[in-house]
């Protein structure tokens, strides 16, 4: 028996779609449930079933064979449909339970992926999703003279990522202006660099430049009030640590003891019951004076 896969919001819907397309009844079919549809916090996972005609139903076998031939003859399929079919096959090879949906196909092809475990599709900082999108773009543009952009998303990851990068850009702009120094980000792919450039393009008192070579090309945020144009850009991660240390020293100088004080970024001294104290039973409470969004390799080399 030859099985054909069908999808739907629920198992019943997927089965109904399959039976209607094959022109058979439930009694004439062998049905296997691959995935039960379910709702998630963001989006949903489609139900997937496989349907085959029973061996004694010759007419049904013929219908299944005809459908398989139509799949092979993909000349009538659009670029987006060919790409979706490719991704379905790719996820099967990778043993990833996921469903693809062709959202739109105009100036660009948009495909959405829903999966039981979205991290398998997205990967670290979107690396796997970007790789899948690159393959999808190659498939969609096979035989085309003019390149068509292909966007593959997984459960609104790209939109959420863009919001995070926009916040990061604004925080770095404020910091660069306050310090009067250039600040450089960690290497990003072209898509993420475009988001940073776009977010700060209309920002007064700041400009951005890309430096380095792929795949280590990065963005430098440059304030108009730059104190020393010849100075190297400060890595955003290092600058936050330096800020913390400077805050502690300032507090220590004012209070006559090193490393303790009430200035921002320093340490405050408390006794065990929460009151201020200068002796016995103390604990350190730290004030944070830096933005809390960082795009980088958290935890590398034992660093925070």
Q: Give the pLDDT of residue 270.
A: 42
The 8-class DSSP code of residue 205 comes to T
Burial class for 279, CB neighbours closer than 10 Å (0-12, 13-18, 19+): exposed
d(CA 286, CA 263): 10
Q: Give the pLDDT of residue 8.
A: 84
Is the pTM above the cut of 0.75? no
Average pLDDT, the chain: 76
Q: Give the pLDDT of residue 232.
A: 92
Q: Which of 182, 204, 185 is nearest to 195 (CA)?
A: 185
Write down all domains in the chain, each with its CATH number in brackets: 1-72 (no CATH), 77-155 (3.30.300.20), 159-232 (3.30.1370.50), 237-302 (no CATH)
Strands 206-211 and 234-235: unpaired
Q: Give the pLDDT of residue 20.
A: 82
CA distances (Å), origin 219, targets 149, 180, 204: 24, 17, 17
Give the CA angle between residues 134, 141, 94 to the nearest 5°: 40
Nearby residues of 194 by Cβ (< 8 Å), 6 or more positions away: none
Q: Going from the first residue of the chain to its last (304 residues), give the mean pLDDT of each consecutive group of 10, the final group possibly shorter.
A: 82 86 83 79 76 62 47 68 94 90 91 89 90 94 90 91 92 94 91 92 93 91 93 76 48 44 44 47 44 42 46
């Amino acid at each position: 028996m030859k099985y054909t896969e069908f999808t739907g919001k629920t198992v019943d819907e997927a089965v109904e779609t399959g039976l209607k397309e094959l022109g058979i009844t439930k009694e004439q079919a062998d049905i296997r449930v691959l995935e039960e549809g379910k709702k998630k916090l963001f989006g949903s996972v489609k139900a997937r079933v496989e349907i085959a005609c029973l061996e004694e139903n010759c007419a049904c076998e013929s219908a299944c064979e005809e459908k398989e031939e139509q799949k092979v003859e993909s000349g009538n399929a659009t670029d987006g449909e060919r790409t979706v079919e490719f991704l379905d096959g790719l996820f099967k090879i990778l043993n990833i339970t996921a469903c693809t949906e062709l959202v739109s196909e105009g100036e660009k092809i948009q495909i959405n992926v829903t999966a039981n475990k979205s991290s398998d599709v997205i990967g670290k900082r979107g690396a796997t999703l970007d790789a899948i999108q690159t393959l999808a773009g190659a498939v969609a543009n096979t035989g085309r003279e003019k390149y068509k952009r292909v966007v593959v998303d997984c459960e609104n990851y790209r939109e959420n990522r863009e919001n995070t990068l926009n916040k990061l850009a604004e925080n770095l702009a404020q910091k660069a202006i306050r310090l009067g120094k250039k600040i450089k980000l960690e290497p990003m792919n072209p898509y993420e660099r475009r988001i940073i450039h776009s977010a700060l393009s209309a920002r007064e008192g700041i400009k951005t430049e890309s430096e380095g070579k792929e795949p280590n090309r990065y963005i430098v945020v440059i304030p108009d009030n730059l104190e020393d144009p010849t100075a190297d850009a400060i890595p955003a991660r290092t600058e936050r640590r330096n800020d913390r240390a400077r805050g502690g020293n300032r507090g220590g100088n004012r209070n006559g003891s090193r490393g303790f004080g009430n200035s921002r970024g320093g340490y405050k001294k408390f006794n065990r019951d929460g009151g201020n104290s200068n002796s016995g039973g103390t604990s350190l409470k730290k004030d944070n004076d830096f933005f809390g969004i960082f795009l980088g390799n958290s935890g590398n080399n034992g660093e925070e």
